[in-house]
Amino acid sequence: MLRIYGVPNSQPVRAVVWTCLMKKLPFEFVMTSQNRAAKTPQYLAEVNPRGTIPAIDDDTLVLWESHAILIYLCEKHGWNDLWPDDLYKRAQVNQYLHFHHRNTRELVVHWSRRLWPSVFGVSNPDASWLRRNTFAGMENNQEIVSQCLTIINGMLGENAYLAGDGLTIADISAYEELGQNQPKYANCTSFEPYPHIERWLLAMEQVPAHNVAHAVWRLIGDVNKVEGGMQKIADANKQAARQIQEESARQGIAGRT
Ligand SMILES: N[C@@H](CCC(=O)N[C@@H](CS)C(=O)NCC(=O)O)C(=O)O
């Protein structure tokens, strides 16, 4: 059976988990924290030399990097709605996936810079604390994020989804960054200036398995006021992972009857 290594609090991990849940592909979720479990000599040697999550082990194929994993799963299982066969449509999905890494991914800096000071009870973190304890990001992060949101808003003004009129893995990957930061979840980015993004965020909530794949958002809540320190994050991850694993098991049983 497919194994997915990661924790629910990781954006690229959720992209893989959500895709499998929405497609009812059974998997084993192997809790792997990015700072410890993913840095053990065994994980580095046998799973991912970079020590990041997600990674998968699918019948001896070991793979890391969420976009490579998503494309592999789509191609293996023929999910050509999420990864279209049409050359032009596929090229547009691919265009977004490359853009994502140094653009949309920068939104995680907003989240990380609010979450970790709150978790560790640091009220006015200086630049060196932030460098040591949060996602590094790019020096001109703010500029990149606002340009990125303008571009995404423009794409969604032209089409219902990022790469055309149907949901693809481009949307799934983007949603993990944008959806998480919304005022009603982590509360660290306002999308008010971007009406097309706001419309799309609501549409994404209707995609199957949304709630179970994102249970961790409600369990952690507003990242500006996390109470309970690291224990709260660990418990939220464990509880969300349990829900994910139970749903996958339930779907596996349902799929076999
Ligand atoms: N480009 C990678 C990013 C993976 C990534 O940054 N994962 C984080 C968790 S959200 C991680 O493992 N960080 C640990 C590290 O960078 O050492 C992907 O899409 O899979």
Q: With 70 as the cut, is the pLDDT of residue 256 above it? A: no
Rounded distance, CA 190 to CA 192, Å?
A: 6
Cβ–Cβ under 8 Å, residues 168 and 83: yes
pTM of the full predicted structure? 0.97
Amino acid at 170: A
pLDDT of the residue at 148: 98
Mean pLDDT calculated for residue range 43-66: 97
pLDDT in tens, 159-206: 999 999 999 999 999 999 999 999 999 999 999 999 999 999 999 999
C-alpha–C-alpha distance, residues 201 and 178, integer Å:
8
- 189: CATH: 1.20.1050.10
Average pLDDT over residues 37-47: 98
Alpha-helix runs per DSSP H in the chain: 11-22, 41-46, 66-77, 87-102, 107-119, 127-133, 141-158, 169-181, 195-204, 210-213, 215-220, 229-256
Model pLDDT for residues 81-116, shown as the tens digit of each residue: 999 999 999 999 999 999 999 999 999 999 999 999
9-28 confidence digits (pLDDT tens): 999 999 999 999 999 999 99
Structurally, how many domains does the chain consist of?
Answer: 1
34 C-alpha to center of ligand 1: Å? 8
Question: In ligand 1, which atom is closest to the CA atom of 35?
Answer: 14
Cα(253) to centroid of ligand 1, in Å?
A: 31
Q: How would residue 253 be classed by pLDDT, with cut points 50, 70 and 90? A: confident
Q: What is the mean pLDDT of residues 22-44?
A: 97
Q: Whose CA is nearest to atom 19 of ligand 1?
A: 66
Instruction: Tell me which residue range forms the domain holding 176.
Output: 2-256
Q: How many CB atoms lie within 10 A of CB 68?
A: 12
User: Do residues 51 and 5 touch, judged by C-beta distance below 8 A?
Assistant: no
